[in-house]
């Protein structure tokens, strides 16, 4: 196993997956509130919810790993912590109407 600092790619993958999670969660919430547009041909079923939850957990774990890593630079750890807090805040503050 290579020894080195893998915090940069891990941080980037965590950020990308959190953006995907937030986009999917937003679309799920829009669909559940009946705010579908004319291009909304997205089926909502158990698999869609499962994939959305998977992306959320995966992104959280990657960002958490960077935020507690002792090999990661302090700036990267701070970015990961802020990204986690921001993602949670955005998820909780989605428009409900």
**19: containing domain:** 7-33+45-92
In this predicted structure, what is the pLDDT of residue 49? 85
Which pLDDT band holds residue 38 (cuts at 50, 70, 90)?
A: low
Domain membership flag for residue 97: no
User: Is 81 part of any domain?
Assistant: yes
Residue 40 lies in a domain: no
Is 85 a member of any domain?
Answer: yes
Asked, for residue 1, whether it belongs to a domain, the answer is no
Q: Is residue 2 part of a domain?
A: no
Note the pLDDT of residue 6: 85
* 39 inside domain: no
Residue among 5, 3, 4, 10 at smallest CA distance from 79 = 10
pLDDT, tens digit (0-9, with 9 covering 90-100), for 46-92? 788 888 899 999 999 999 999 999 889 999 999 999 999 999 998 88
Closest CA to 16 of 44, 47, 58, 48: 58
Instruction: Give me the number of domains the chain comprises.
Output: 1
């Amino acid at each position: 196993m290579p020894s080195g600092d893998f915090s940069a790619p891990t941080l980037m993958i965590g950020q990308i997956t959190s953006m995907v999670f937030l986009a999917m969660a937003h679309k799920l919430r829009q669909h559940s509130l009946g705010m579908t547009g004319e291009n909304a041909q997205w089926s909502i079923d158990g698999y869609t919810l499962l994939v959305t939850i998977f992306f959320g957990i995966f992104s959280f774990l990657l960002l958490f790993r960077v935020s507690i890593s002792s090999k990661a630079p302090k700036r990267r750890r701070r970015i990961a912590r802020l990204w986690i807090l921001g993602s949670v805040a955005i998820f909780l503050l989605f428009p409900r109407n």
